[in-house]
Chains A and B, each alone.
Chain A
């Protein structure tokens, strides 16, 4: 059997999706189900003086209306921040309470005030209109840069400051800058984005009064953790009486890693009324209440020698985390961001300060890349600016500062095990035909267009994460992963993983690993995930961790199967276990033709003994059955890296910017399924270009989200892009047996600086994201008027 690793296998999961048989949460219905509709705050900041449900309760079809007071009476806990950050002064971060239904105050437009449960959705909506909430409207804090100077939103949280975090050696960094021969600085805004998985969030609570078991069907990337949090912190139901199912999930991008208020409320309500309760978000509700991403303001400085060698880095960032601290909100702009500000350069000293602020906007949490896109945008914009100011070629300047010996202990946190940064840079230079750029620029100029080129050489830390390390820096959980391999008596295999697939193709990639390890045909392997009642506890899918951590757990479980199989084969073949080799699905006695297939061994494990033709005695002390579980805690992060090169053409008459070529060369270590990896790169790059040119979440001064539909929030569409050029280099990871590094976020991390560097190169003036036609045109006009004035 040919190796499955590196094989372009068509996806096992495709047929159901292509024939309309996918089963997403909104597709699930129960016979006596009821419908939930949330009463949400229309104000960014207000005191709740009273909630009057008397009229609404009498409305047709209404079964129950629940408010923040009911929630408090039932002692349902608040949503939690899962990662404790300690400020530079040694004090713990400050977080406000976050009840799933607000009782005393609302803090962003879309905040949850009450839930109406009725026999039909229309009835629930009609009644929601009759819920009379008396608000005392307060002045909203909206702007990231003004938040610390504004009135405190919460009592006891001065300056709206969640924490003031520092990483690195401030003294040494200052010293490097005092000795610097050249200092380059940059001011950046990393625009707020809305994740926009195409499937809107949904939850269904279903309570069984007989068994007292509660089931929550939900659009989630991480069902076990969701159950744990809802059980331990919200007190919805004890874990052993609580099942969380995340069936087919239509994209996540980080926005579905954790439970939301609606999950807690729907599950609690279902138990309370003893009927299934279904809630499906309308798209505008998704815009308002899905956690947003990014939203940083940064000032960064690079210290250099005249010859272009980097000697130090200082970064100051204000991160807007919205109205409440969502589950991963505090780690995203700290440990997922600050260690990565070094990029893939050998920078001897650095200091990064991050102030996280509360505002009256939707909570901000992990979004594809989570912290790493923000770090990469900062360093890659700064690097390109430095090269230009030094008069050095952008590629040459990078190579001069690349880390080139591995392992490399960076000055902040990470110990990078492997990489070859010049390899992917050189391949990208070739593939993008960098040497002929000036010629293409002249051709564009002859058509009246401004052409620019931009680079991004990025690194990310994936495969999150060694539990001991992350728990020592504030994580509320370990970040290992589980796998269980159940060989069935007839020789086919059920594989359980704690990871969750919502587009990544785990059903196929993970089956390829099992097929390769155990020699079982792909069609006889089934991957099962997304149901806390089925597989062992797992930590879910995010941060490009599934393959590096979950895939490794599968390898470990396969190894245990092989170990047991060798013992059983030895007995059946009258040899010693150490004399048995296992290869391509067969246990063979060394130097002989005596062998048993893994299918025969599985059969023997389930039918141990002699019965007619069946002769399968198990060795003494070996238990029947063939099922193994492995929990894998990674020893290090993995470090994918790559070079992306973008070329844009700007029409100076309209400001319209078009990406004309885009080249991505990535080092993901070992690639299991190149077709799936390529798809991940395409999708990530489009999200990254979306951030750079189109997407922006905008709140007006009063805190109203003015981009709350697809009419106003510019999603990247098919006609926005050229065909991308994709290639790979490979330095396998040394931290896991597969050598894999992770590929899910790379495009979203690498693309924004590549695109903006190209736009800046084209128009020769600074521009902020998204570089819309209007902004680019304005920048060109300002440049022109400045020139005329001078």
Chain B
């Protein structure tokens, strides 16, 4: 067992977990933050993307015990005082989601893109989101949503 100490969505947590516990498992199974989804076993789909110290990371690629004292933001921690994050608003406005399963990872990735690049082109958005698979939307409205969020930020 390993002690894991993190700040998750602004709250300090400390848990003893088996050594092999992935960050995605910690979030879903131990902290009950089920907004982070598991869509594959090979770190390909991107449904589990969260922010670790502000950077987008596939949480299924990280051992929880390896990132002690990090700050984690999950999809549940984005909206503040009941107000949606501009990226969440833009996804809603542009119908950037259908079944919603890939959405948390997609939103978390897209937010990190805008931290790296203020006004990305369509192609830059598409290239950045290459690691997030969506089977429903055909991506076009996701690109539109990210552009809108970029314009507003």
Known: A18-B91, A18-B107, A687-B135. A717 touches B97 (CB 8 A): no
A31 at the interface (CB under 8 A from B): no
| B95 with A11: CB separation less than 8 A | yes
B59 at the interface (CB under 8 A from A): no
| B139 with A198: CB separation less than 8 A | no
- Contact flags (1/0) for B25-66 with A, using CB distance below 8 Å? 000100001111111111011010000000000000000000
Stretch at the interface among A389-397, A411-419, A422-430, A718-726: A718-726
Nearest chain A residue, comparing its CB with the CB of B105: A198
Collect the chain B residues with CB atoms within 8 Å of residue A199's CB. Answer: 37, 39, 99, 101
| A284 with B139: CB separation less than 8 A | no
| B33 with A686: CB separation less than 8 A | no
User: Shortest distance in angstroms between B6's beta carbon and chain A's nearest beta carbon?
Assistant: 17
User: Shortest distance in angstroms between B22's beta carbon and chain A's nearest beta carbon?
Assistant: 13
Main secondary structure of the interface of A (DSSP, over half): loop
Q: Other than A20-B76, A503-B136, A683-B135, give 16 A-B pairs with Cβ distance below 8 A.
A: A15-B84, A15-B92, A22-B101, A26-B37, A198-B134, A248-B99, A283-B40, A503-B100, A678-B95, A679-B138, A682-B139, A709-B42, A717-B133, A719-B127, A721-B139, A724-B138
Nearest chain B residue, comparing its CB with the CB of A282: B41
| B84 with A19: CB separation less than 8 A | yes
Stretch at the interface among A210-218, A249-257, A625-633: A249-257
User: Shortest distance in angstroms between B20's beta carbon and chain A's nearest beta carbon?
Assistant: 9
A21 at the interface (CB under 8 A from B): yes
A27 at the interface (CB under 8 A from B): yes
Interface size on A, residues (CB 8 A): 55
| 3 interchain residue pairs of minimum CB distance | A20-B35, A17-B100, A250-B101
Please give the residue numbers on chain A whose beta carbons come within 8 Å of chain B beta carbons, in ascending order. Answer: 10-11, 13-24, 26-27, 196-200, 248-251, 253, 282-284, 502-505, 675-676, 678-679, 681-687, 709-711, 715, 717-719, 721, 723-724, 747
Can you sample 5 A-B contacts with CB below 8 Å?
A: A198-B99, A502-B99, A715-B133, A721-B138, A724-B140
| A197 with B79: CB separation less than 8 A | no
Collect the chain B residues with CB atoms within 8 Å of residue A248's CB. Answer: 99-100
Nearest chain B residue, comparing its CB with the CB of A198: B101
B142 at the interface (CB under 8 A from A): yes
| B136 with A683: CB separation less than 8 A | yes
Interface size on B, residues (CB 8 A): 53
Question: What separation, in Å, do the CA atoms of A250 and B132 have in the docked complex?
Answer: 15
| A19 with B136: CB separation less than 8 A | no
Question: What separation, in Å, do the CA atoms of A27 and B79 have in the docked complex?
Answer: 21
| A18 with B136: CB separation less than 8 A | no
| A198 with B133: CB separation less than 8 A | yes
**Chain B 70-129 residues near chain A, CB threshold 8 A:** 74-76, 78-79, 84, 88, 91-93, 95, 97-104, 107, 122-123, 125-127, 129
Give the contacting residue for B98; candidates A200, A679, A717; CB below 8 A: A679
| B91 with A14: CB separation less than 8 A | yes
Collect the chain A residues with CB atoms within 8 Å of residue B127's CB. Answer: 718-719
Give the contacting residue for B34; candidates A27, A504, A721; CB below 8 A: A27
B23 at the interface (CB under 8 A from A): no
Question: What separation, in Å, do the CA atoms of A13 and B136 have in the docked complex?
Answer: 15
| B139 with A250: CB separation less than 8 A | no
| A251 with B101: CB separation less than 8 A | yes
Collect the chain B residues with CB atoms within 8 Å of residue A249's CB. Answer: 99
Collect the chain A residues with CB atoms within 8 Å of residue B91's CB. Answer: 14, 18
| A747 with B138: CB separation less than 8 A | yes
| B100 with A718: CB separation less than 8 A | no
Question: What separation, in Å, do the CA atoms of A362 and B127 have in the docked complex?
Answer: 34
Give the contacting residue for A710; candidates B45, B101, B138; CB below 8 A: B45
User: Shortest distance in angstroms between B41's beta carbon and chain A's nearest beta carbon?
Assistant: 5
Give the contacting residue for B44; candidates A20, A27, A710, A747; CB below 8 A: A710
User: Shortest distance in angstroms between B134's beta carbon and chain A's nearest beta carbon?
Assistant: 7
| B34 with A505: CB separation less than 8 A | no
Question: What separation, in Å, do the CA atoms of A253 and B97 have in the docked complex?
Answer: 15
Known: A20-B34, A710-B45. A251 touches B135 (CB 8 A): yes
Nearest chain A residue, comparing its CB with the CB of B102: A198
Known: A22-B35, A718-B130, A718-B143. A14 touches B97 (CB 8 A): yes
| A19 with B130: CB separation less than 8 A | no
| B95 with A709: CB separation less than 8 A | no
| B132 with A718: CB separation less than 8 A | yes
| A198 with B45: CB separation less than 8 A | yes
Collect the chain B residues with CB atoms within 8 Å of residue A709's CB. Answer: 40-42, 44
B137 at the interface (CB under 8 A from A): yes
| B141 with A682: CB separation less than 8 A | yes
Question: What separation, in Å, do the CA atoms of A396 and B51 have in the docked complex?
Answer: 55
Question: What separation, in Å, do the CA atoms of A730 and B95 have in the docked complex?
Answer: 23
Collect the chain A residues with CB atoms within 8 Å of residue B133's CB. Answer: 198, 710, 715, 717
User: Shortest distance in angstroms between B149's beta carbon and chain A's nearest beta carbon?
Assistant: 12
User: Shortest distance in angstroms between B84's beta carbon and chain A's nearest beta carbon?
Assistant: 7
Collect the chain B residues with CB atoms within 8 Å of residue A21's CB. Answer: 35, 76
| A19 with B34: CB separation less than 8 A | no
